Amino acid sequence: MKLNLRSVDLNLLPVFVAVVEEGQLSRAASRLGMSQPAVSAALQRLRLTVDDVLFTRTRAGLSPTPRAQALYQQVSAGLGMLGEALDPGRQFDPASSDRTFRIIAVDYFESLMLGPLVAQMRQQSEQISVQVLSQADGWEKQLISAEADFALDSELAEDDRLNAEVVSEEKLAVVVRRDHPHIQENISLEQFLQAEHVVLPLRDRRVLPLDQVLGKPGWRRKIGAQVVQYGNLLSVAGASDLIATVPLRLAQRMADTYQLQVLPFPVPVKSVPIYLIWPVALENDQAHRWFRGLLKTFFSGLDALQT
C-alpha cells in the first residue's frame, strides 16, 4: 500500500538528514537550532513512520542502518531540489556547496577518469564530492527516481524521462602480454579469431560493436575466461596468453602496469560513443547543471589530449 504523504510530517526529514551528516544528536541539534530532546523526539516519530530504528549507537556516535543510508540518499537529494525550486533566484555557488553527485558507471570511468575529474572539480570547490555507483541491472530506475544524478554508458537509454548527450568517443584496442609467444607488434584477424579471449559478461560485451564486426559466418571469438570489470581484462591478459578488446585510453594508461602490448583492432571498427545520461527531473537544478557542464568540459579536454 502506498504511503500517504499527508500523514507524514515532512519537518522530520531535515532533522533526519542533519543527524546522518553530523553523527550525533547534540551536533545536529546545534546545527538546526533545536534542543537535543526535540531532535530525539523527531527521530522517534520518523522511526515509527518508516518502521526502522534508523540509527545504532557506536563509540563514534550514531551510525545509520542500511535502511537509513538508502533513505538519506533520496531525502538529501530531494531536499536540495526542493530548496532550488522554492528559491529559483538563488545562484548555485560551488565554492560553498557540499553536495555529493552520484554517477552510475563501470570501473573504466573510476580507474581512468575519476581522479582527474576530482582534481578539476577542486579548482572550483573544496567540499563537493563524487560517489560512483555500480552499473547494475535496472540502473535507469535510479536515475528516473533521482537516486543518482548521472550515468555514463555506451548505449542510449530509451526513456523519455531521461536526457542524454554524447560527450566523448572511445576507440577500441587489443591487448596482449608483451612476451606473447604468437602475437608481436600487430594482430591479424586470423590471429584474433584463433586466440583465446578474456571477456566481460554478456551485457557489457553487447555494448561493444564486436558482435557486428564478428557477425559474419565463422567469425566467433574463443572465450577462455570471463571477468566482471574492465581492469581485470587487462590483468588477465597480462598474466596469460589470453587477449582482450578494451577501450584504447584505458589500455594506454595501464600498459606498463600489466606489461601489455596495445595493438590496433585487426579490422576497421567504429568508435564507441560515451553518453552522459541524466533525469529530466533534474534538468533545471542549478547544481546539477553546473556539474553537467563540468563533466562536458572534462570530456572535451580528454578528447583534445587524444587527438
**CATH classification of the domain holding 179:** 3.40.190.10
Higher pLDDT, 215 or 121: 121
Torsions phi, psi of 19, nearest 5?
Answer: -70, -40
Q: What pLDDT band is residue 186 in, cutting at 50, 70 and 90?
A: very high
138: CB partners within 8 A, 6+ apart: none
Q: Residue 203: its pLDDT value, please? A: 57
| 3-class state of residue 96 by DSSP | helix
The CATH number of the domain holding residue 61 is 1.10.10.10
Co-location of 114 and 146 in the same domain: yes
User: What is the pLDDT averaged over residues 82-106?
Assistant: 79
Is the Cβ–Cβ distance between 124 and 159 less than 8 Å?
A: no
Average the pLDDT over 279-294 and give the result.
Answer: 89
Mean pLDDT of 105-134: 92
Q: What is the DSSP letter of 158?
A: -
Q: Is residue 238 part of a domain?
A: yes
Residues ≥6 apart with Cβ < 8 Å to 179:
259
Which residues in 10-38 are b (16+ Cβ under 10 Å) and which e?
Answer: eebbbbbbbbbebeebebbbeebebeeee
Number of domains in the chain: 3
Band of the pLDDT at 131, cuts 50, 70, 90?
very high
The per-residue pLDDT for 274 is 92
pTM recorded for the entire structure: 0.69
Same domain, residue pair 151 and 181: no
Distance of alpha carbon 123 from alpha carbon 132, whole angstroms: 20
Q: Where are the alpha helices (DSSP H) in the chain?
A: 12-22, 25-32, 36-50, 66-86, 107-109, 115-121, 139-144, 189-194, 202-206, 210-213, 230-238, 248-258, 286-306
The domain containing residue 176 runs over which residues?
172-270
Residues whose CB falls within 8 Å of the CB of residue 193, separated by 6 or more in sequence, listed in order: 214, 218, 219, 220, 221, 222
Label residue 249 by pLDDT band (50, 70, 90): very high
pLDDT at residue 86 in the model: 63
Confidence of residue 245 (pLDDT cuts 50, 70, 90): very high
Residues 50 and 186 in one domain: no
Q: pLDDT category, 206, cuts 50, 70, 90?
A: very low
Strands 162-170 vs 272-279: parallel, antiparallel or unpaired: antiparallel
